[in-house]
Chains A and B, each alone.
Chain A
Amino acid sequence: MENLIPLIILFPLLGVIINGLWGYRLGRRIVGLIGPGVVALSFLVSIVVVLGLNGLEGEHKQFTVTLFEWIRAGNFVIPLQFLVDPLSGLMLLIVTGIGFLIHIYSVGYMADDVGYARFFTYLNLFIVSMLILVLGANYLLLFMGWELVGLCSFLLISFWFTNTEYASAGRKAFVVNRIGDFGFALGIMLIFVTFGSLNFADVFTKSETLAVGAPVVTTITLLLFVGAIGKSAQIPLYVWLPDAMAGPTPVSALIHAATMVTAGVYMIARSHVLYDHAPTTQAIVAVVGTATALFAALIALTQTDIKKVLAYSTVSQLGYMVLGVGAGAYTAGVFHLYTHAFFKALLFLGAGSVMHSLGGEQDMRNMGGLLKYIRTTGITFILGGLALAGIFPFAGFWSKDEILASAFNHGGLYQVLWAIGVLTAGLTAFYTLRQVGLVFFGEERWRTALAPAGAGAGHGAPVTAPTIPPAAVQAPVASAPAPAPAMPPTQPPATTASPTELAPGEKPRRPRPGQAAPVEPTIPPAPSAAAEPPAAAPTQPPTESAPGEKPRRPRPGQTLAASVPTTPSISEPAPTPSEPAPSESAGEKPRRPRPGQANVAANTPIEPVSSPAPVGQPETPVQPASHVEPSVAETAGDKPRRPRPGQASDPSTLPTKPETVGQTTHETHTEHAAPAHGATAHDAGGHGHGGHGFSGEPHESPPNMTVPLVILMLGAVAAGWANIPGVSPLLEHWLEPVFGAHEVEVIASPVTLALVSLAAAVIGALLGMMMYDVPLFVVRLPRLTPPRLAGLYEASLNKFYVDEIYDRLFVQPFGRLADWFWQAVDKSVIDGLVNGIAGGFRSLSGVFRQVQTGYVRNYALWMLVGVVVLIFWFFYQ
């Protein structure tokens, strides 16, 4: 049995080597077989090993295998040793099992990406790293896996590295993780200094002799926890995780569910003996975990990007796990890790499938009513959502409840944490259902936002119009836009949008109407042209797209103005140009321009609409206005930057080859680079898999994407049943040899506690359903909107400005410090010294150089002189 253990790592490693070295020559089919295949093999071996483990008894329930001595320096001896015990066994199954499903899914998801082989190489390497992390029998191996995982996350997050923004998201993940790793490395060194070994078994045995609360243990555990903060994305180092959405969706799923972020929790659970000896650290861990859970949940409430909601929800759920391990309930923490792996992987892959169905759209405000189009995805997603929300009897309920119950029973401070945890559970349920509602129920906003012109016309104009509380509902096309022009030109987006959810999101990127306007003129005509070759379009207006980024969406003011003129001057020519615009816009799934576009679309066909026009015109100079039309078209053109060139309504473009797609993508990216919009804006979908554009009707993903969804759904539903306290505490028994039997005095009955947290979840879920069109309840509540909760909403939407604060607090000061060092120290002192020495030698050599005349005679003469001198020397010596 022991001999099998290395195979678990070896198989994926083989995949890395094959795909990495020959991937591009093997062709996609073979790469797509090898990638998931090796993980499947590894999964099978893991099952065999774990089954073997199951046959052992109690304390002996572990396999150790030593391959060779890795490092020996004095008494510092590190064997390459793997350990499979119930804890790492469970992690093995999670990593390889969920990892395998994600691989399968990737085969479909990445099918059109140019970097197919590279992707699977990285993905396999990720699995290898995670397995090393999990299997290592000493802290150094764990650290090695830890760092490798960081490397892989960097590689995968910036997988589409030609886009500067994605690349910097990867860098951010890497750097932020390094900060945590620094603490972790210090912790490991301190462990060695204290215990003289890094072997888990040795360290834990020796630590038993230390007093509980000994400062050394507290320091060690705190340092280790710093590592966990980085890797498991806790406050204050969680900032990398949401940005990690820049990677392809399967990567998000892999990072969030099966690997990487669970590393911190695993490490704490693994070191539980140490943590048990450091109650102070435990309290800190628990507080940080709870704070993270609450904070991230608050942010998740208002996010509009389908993946960002999930990202923050992951941060929040990791907070729960950390709370669990901080409360000494290691089993509960690991239990949540395990259930979370299922439903979060499911949700991410489901989100990927949704995006896929809409040709890469990521903005939930452009979704809605999708359930009937993509049933499999929808149902699995909803069930996954319920599991995340902690609704009985789905997986999330059991594990979350167990964490909360153990926190409560821990007493004291922990009961406060419990209360916050319960509140967070309510928030979790709310934002999950909000997401479900926005994506799968309610108005089919994508029709206007993403669809071809014709489709949209019928509906309300600005995507969200219908949902808008204030007026607007009735007069879809015209009325909605009307207010926009009325407002001060500078603010247009804010006002217009504000009623809807969209607005705020855009803010950051949005306005610069000023920019947008000038841009257009450069490329005024040829809207149709822009549309046709989506690839080409972006190239032309490069400058534009840069600033254009923002404008893409709102600039309602302009767009309106633009659209207006066309209509009133209904003269023949006008409509014609406008025509192409909408079609384009359709092509691009303009998450952005939508309000404007919608109008355009609407306007063209509906003459009367023109009435609002005049309002807008005065504001915008006539010139730009006339150009606006094209601008829309362009925007459309831009869009393609997120490839989905296919989307262009023109069917001929659909079959775009992967190659082309790739190129487009690249160009796109470069242009993208410019401004703000959070990593979010783009997405995966846009990318590689532009091949499927959005062609009018959302379509279900291919089976190799939906099958993993269904399997994961089963897990999301049933995984929690593996550990029902009092009924089937399988997991607890399984992990008992590792964590020992914990005697917890029970303060409140588990059932009561479960009911409390369930109640919180249900209330949250109901609110979410009522506000966001989930049709279970007829009651409709007004949604969360900016005016309603003004400051808080805004703050949450902007992620509480954490990134900005960090920027101010750390990035900029360090930038300035670095600048100072550069100018004052490096340039003048260091460079001066180096250049000075070099200069000295240079002038010296100038003197000596004179000797080298290059004339042979001259050299001969010197030889002669030398000979003469030698002769004299010999003579007179």
Chain B
Amino acid sequence: MDVPIQYYGLLSALLFSMGVAGVLLRRNIIIVFMSIELMFNAANLLFVAFARHQNGLDGQVFVFFVMTVAAAEVAVGLALVMALFRSKQTTDVDDASTLKG
């Protein structure tokens, strides 16, 4: 049975919005980080859904790339989190505001 494409779209939009909200509203950097991952995956979900819907492989292949990039980004991102924690003893993003003009 086929789940209509709209459902995928809705779910994906939901996930993405949650991610955005997480990034914008949460202060713990790790949560923020996870929210970013959430947005990634929302996008991935949509890719796969559309790929299947159109019987093409492009979207699915693309997801692999996104996942590899995401993996790399996680590595870098976690390193940044570590560095931040080391220098500020905190994971609160609002404490990292030295760029304030």
Contacts and interface: CB of A to CB of B under 8 A. Distances in A.
Interface string B68-101: 0000000000000000000000000110111111
A857 B32 CA distance: 9
A856 B96 contact: yes
Considering residues B20, B93, B97, B101, which has the most beta carbons from chain A within 10 angstroms of its beta carbon?
Answer: B101
B32 A854 contact: no
Contacts of B94: 855, 857
A843 interface: no
Interface string A840-861: 0000000011111111110011
Contacts of B20: 864
B49 interface: no
A853 B100 contact: yes
B1 interface: no
Contact of A854 (B25, B27, B98): B98
Interface residues of B, number: 14
Nearest to A859: B99
Interface string A649-668: 00000000000000000000
Interface string A383-400: 000000000000000000
A849 B101 CA distance: 5
Given A855-B93, A855-B94, A857-B93, A864 B101 contact: no
B100 A857 contact: no
B24 interface: yes
Contacts of B32: 856-857
B101 A857 contact: no
B97 A850 contact: no
Contacts of A852: 99-101
Interface in A307-337: none
B23 interface: yes
A857 B24 contact: yes
Contacts of A849: 101
A857 B28 CA distance: 11
Nearest to B20: A864
Contacts of B98: 854
Nearest to B23: A860
A853 B94 CA distance: 10
B101 A850 contact: yes
Nearest to A864: B20
Interface in B1-17: none
The size bracket of the interface on A is 10 to 19
A816 B24 CA distance: 65
Contacts of A851: 101
A864 B27 CA distance: 17
Contacts of B25: 857
A854 B100 contact: yes
A864 B24 contact: yes
B23 A854 contact: no
Contacts of B27: 857
Nearest to A856: B93
Nearest to B94: A855
A860 to B, nearest CB: 5
Contacts of A854: 96-101
Given A855-B94, A856-B93, A861 B24 contact: yes
A356 to B, nearest CB: 67
B97 A853 contact: yes
A860 B101 contact: no
Contacts of A853: 97, 100-101
B97 A857 contact: no
Nearest to B25: A857
A133 B25 CA distance: 79
Contacts of A848: 101
A586 B93 CA distance: 79
Contacts of B97: 853-855
Interface string A818-848: 0000000000000000000000000000001
Nearest to A857: B24
A33 to B, nearest CB: 60
Contacts of A860: 23-24
A867 to B, nearest CB: 10
A854 B99 CA distance: 5
Interface string B13-40: 0000000100111010000100000000
A578 B99 CA distance: 74
B88 to A, nearest CB: 13
Contacts of A857: 23-25, 27, 32, 93-94
Nearest to B26: A857
A846 to B, nearest CB: 9
Nearest to B99: A854
A703 B94 CA distance: 82
Contacts of B23: 857, 860
A529 to B, nearest CB: 59
Nearest to A848: B101
A756 B94 CA distance: 102
B55 to A, nearest CB: 27
B18 to A, nearest CB: 14
A848 B101 CA distance: 9
A860 B21 CA distance: 10
Contacts of B101: 848-854
A777 to B, nearest CB: 92
Considering residues A848, A850, A853, A855, which has the most beta carbons from chain B within 10 angstroms of its beta carbon?
Answer: A855
A851 B100 CA distance: 9
A852 to B, nearest CB: 3
A864 B21 CA distance: 11
Contacts of B24: 857, 860-861, 864
A849 B32 CA distance: 25
Nearest to B36: A860
A380 B23 CA distance: 96
A857 B20 CA distance: 10
Interface of A: 848-857, 860-861, 864
Q: Give 10 closest A-B pairs by Cβ, nearest first.
A: A854-B97, A854-B100, A852-B101, A849-B101, A854-B99, A856-B93, A857-B24, A860-B23, A861-B24, A855-B97
Given A854-B100, A864-B20, A864-B24, 19 more contacts: A850-B101, A851-B101, A852-B99, A852-B100, A853-B100, A854-B96, A854-B97, A854-B98, A854-B99, A855-B93, A855-B94, A855-B97, A855-B100, A856-B32, A856-B96, A857-B24, A857-B32, A860-B23, A860-B24
18 contacts: A849-B101, A851-B101, A852-B99, A852-B101, A853-B100, A853-B101, A854-B97, A854-B101, A855-B100, A856-B93, A856-B96, A857-B24, A857-B25, A857-B27, A857-B32, A857-B93, A860-B23, A864-B24
